């Protein structure tokens, strides 16, 4: 079976956001101009007109091209975009901000791969600056919900909500490439309107912060460390933007191993359960 590049098509066709629904101007609507921004470092307006996912204003999105590959088989030729072809190998890419569109794509792929085989691992490659809390939690909850183990890989960066998804991978199967970086911080948001409404939204964002801290503590408690101690460690770290190298993320418990090269026997590298914290790949 041979693969060859056939042609390219705009990534914007895959990531084009849905049109925003205008806010009602009815006098009976709540006097709140912008409710809690569902964000973990980036605001939820990213996919709205003029946001950084709007392909009409963002040349990176507008001009990015997705390769199409063609398989030569006994039955003739079949063409796939490169991401669909990799999906056949149980590989999912989470690249760019985490928003509703990205969340729908990733969760759909996770559910599809579990339906195909609930025992074989899924590999989730993350290169993301973060994004919407609710969109990210939809992906995280799906990762925990399905039976198939999800191996997570950080390449480039896993910041904000991206770091939480990295940490939420199968225990012992959370990897980082050597020069990747990780950043964690508390959620951000804002509200305006009546004082009582602002108080409600402030209470909600504090609840979200507590939920995120619990998730980090659940997945990143180090060997010999009590969960309560791990939670206190993350409460302190989340106060400000906390940047880590791959080695520091390994020590912090967010990843289990640093990898530099794919092993000749990939099953030995990813499937034998030999990964352990505080041990870099010597491949």
Phi, psi of 100 (to 5 degrees): -60, -40
Residue 78 makes CB contacts below 8 A (sequence gap 6+) with 70, 71
176 touches 258 (CB < 8 A): yes
Single out the residue of 252, 256, 164 nearest to residue 212, CA to CA. 164
Q: Helix, strand or coil for residue 249?
A: helix
Q: Helix, strand or coil for residue 209?
A: helix
C-alpha 3/C-alpha 244 separation (Å) is 38
C-alpha 159/C-alpha 184 separation (Å) is 6
Give me the active site residues, please.
Answer: 160
Q: β-strands 150-159, 181-184: how paired?
A: parallel
274 touches 250 (CB < 8 A): no
Helix %, strand %, coil % of the chain (to 5): 35, 25, 40
276, burial (CB in 10 Å: exposed 0-12, middle 13-18, buried 19+): exposed
C-alpha 55/C-alpha 53 separation (Å) is 6
Find the distance separating the first CA and the last CA of the chain, reported in whole Å.
29
């Amino acid at each position: 079976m041979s693969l060859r590049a056939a042609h390219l098509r705009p990534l914007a066709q895959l990531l084009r956001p849905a049109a925003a629904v205008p806010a009602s101007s009815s006098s009976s609507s709540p006097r709140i101009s912008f409710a809690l921004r569902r964000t973990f470092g980036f605001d939820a307006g990213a996919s709205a007109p003029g946001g950084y996912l709007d392909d009409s204003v963002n040349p990176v999105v507008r001009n990015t091209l997705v390769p199409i590959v063609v398989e030569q088989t006994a039955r003739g030729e079949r063409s796939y975009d490169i991401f669909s072809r990799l999906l056949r190998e149980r590989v999912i890419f989470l690249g760019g901000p985490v928003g509703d569109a990205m969340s729908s794509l990733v969760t759909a792929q996770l559910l599809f791969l579990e339906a195909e085989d609930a025992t074989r691992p899924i590999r989730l490659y993350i290169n993301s600056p973060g994004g919407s809390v609710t969109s990210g939690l939809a992906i995280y909850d799906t990762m925990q919900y399905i039976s198939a183990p999800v191996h997570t890989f950080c390449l480039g960066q896993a910041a904000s909500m991206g770091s939480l998804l990295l940490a939420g991978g199968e225990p012992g199967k959370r990897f980082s490439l050597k020069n990747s970086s990780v950043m964690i911080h508390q959620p951000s948001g804002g509200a305006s309107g009546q004082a009582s409404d602002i108080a409600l939204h402030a209470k909600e964002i504090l609840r979200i912060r507590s939920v995120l801290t619990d998730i980090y503590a659940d997945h990143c408690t180090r060997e010999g460390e009590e969960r309560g101690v791990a939670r206190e460690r993350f409460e302190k770290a989340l106060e400000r933007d906390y940047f880590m190298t791959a080695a520091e993320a390994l020590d912090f418990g967010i990843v289990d191993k640093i990898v530099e090269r794919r092993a000749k026997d990939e099953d030995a590298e990813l499937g034998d359960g030999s990964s352990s914290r505080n041990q870099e790949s010597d491949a």
